[in-house]
Amino acid sequence: MAQKYEPKPEKINDKPAERDTGLVWGKNPVTEVLRSGSGADTLLLADSLDARAAGYYTALARAAGAVVKRMPAGKLQKLCGTAEHQGVALRTTGIRYAELEDLLTLAASRGEPPFLVLCDGIEDPHNLGAIIRSALLCGAHGVVIPRRGGVGVTGTVMKASAGAAARLPVARVANLATAIRTLKEKNIFVYCADLGGASPQKTDLRGPVALVLGSEGRGPAALTRKLCDAAVTLDMAAPGCGVDSYNVSVAAGILLYDIMQRRKAAALPGQGGKGRDEHAKQTHE
């Protein structure tokens, strides 16, 4: 009996960012987009791709209603702008961004307190992809990004997320400050990951929560920081070493995992999260 083909996990590699052309490449990202049905249009397979893998992707493409085309690997590399396409690429009609309200509706449909991630001007697509990947794995209901002042969901973001960007709703808002105000009005406590805040151990990360992550280098914008209810800061074991902060996607992974664990504990009888007023009282004690 022929062995069932499944794409192997892949590493994230640093490459320059690219414009959002509606082209996704790499085995895992293409697989996830085809399975999700997110606007798959044309599957592009390199002639060098082995028959078993080609058959696997062709079957997925047909199920998703996409056209299948074979081409030389060199031509596929030019289209993708990288040699890391793994013999597979997919033209899409473009990612379908969600609305902020869609993320809250998803949380309500699951009977869970909202858990959102807001990215304030993340410019590196590898960082955004890694953040989306961690957000999905840690149970967040979605990621919010601004329409301007940060990278959108491009092919590089999709690949860096290992396809998670096709699974987790991503809302693109006109104004991040307005989004934060809206969340606070809905009794969601908004934390900002930044220097000068309380450690996670001294912060109640249960209940309805949104985590704001600032851009590489400058961190969150001044208005963003001002609007947040409080800041949370990761401890470091090597102060004064010349490196004063974690990479934003690394910090995101640590904090999102911590929030996931807190939410699991809060789901136990008698361990529910606190409301906004109790949150604020604890944070400013």
Tell me phi and psi for residue 71, to 5 degrees: -155, 160
Is residue 17 predicted with pLDDT exceeding 50? no
Instruction: Give the tens place of pLDDT for each residue, 192-249.
Output: 999 889 999 999 998 999 999 998 878 899 999 999 999 999 988 866 677 778 999 9
pTM above 0.85, yes or no: no
- Per-residue pLDDT at 216: 85
Per-residue tokens: 134: 């961690």
In this structure, are residues 39 and 174 in contact, taking their beta carbons and an 8 Å threshold? no
Q: Which domains occur in the chain, in start order?
A: 23-92 (3.30.1330.30), 100-283 (3.40.1280.10)
In this structure, are residues 165 and 203 in contact, taking their beta carbons and an 8 Å threshold? no
Is residue 3 predicted with pLDDT exceeding 70? no
d(CA 271, CA 225): 29
DSSP 8-state secondary structure symbol assigned to residue 25: E
- Per-residue pLDDT at 183: 97
Instruction: Give the tens place of pLDDT for each residue, 109-130.
Output: 999 999 999 999 899 999 999 9
Is residue 265 predicted with pLDDT exceeding 50? yes
Residue 273: pLDDT band by 50, 70, 90 thresholds? low
Higher pLDDT, 196 or 102: 102
Residue 138: pLDDT band by 50, 70, 90 thresholds? very high
As a dihedral over the C-alpha atoms of residue 103, residue 105, residue 107, residue 113, rounded to 10 degrees, the angle is 100
Question: What sections of the chain are H helices per DSSP?
Answer: 27-36, 51-64, 73-80, 100-109, 125-137, 155-160, 176-185, 222-227, 248-266, 276-283
In this structure, are residues 119 and 150 in contact, taking their beta carbons and an 8 Å threshold? yes
140, 262, 266: which is closest to 213 by C-alpha?
140
**Residue 45 exposed, middle or buried by CB count within 10 Å (0-12, 13-18, 19+):** buried
3-class SS shares of the chain: helix, strand, coil, % to 5? 40, 20, 40
Tell me what the mean pLDDT of segment 134-153 comes to.
Answer: 93
Using alpha carbons only, what angle is made at residue 106 by residues 102 and 110, rounded to the nearest 5 degrees?
A: 165
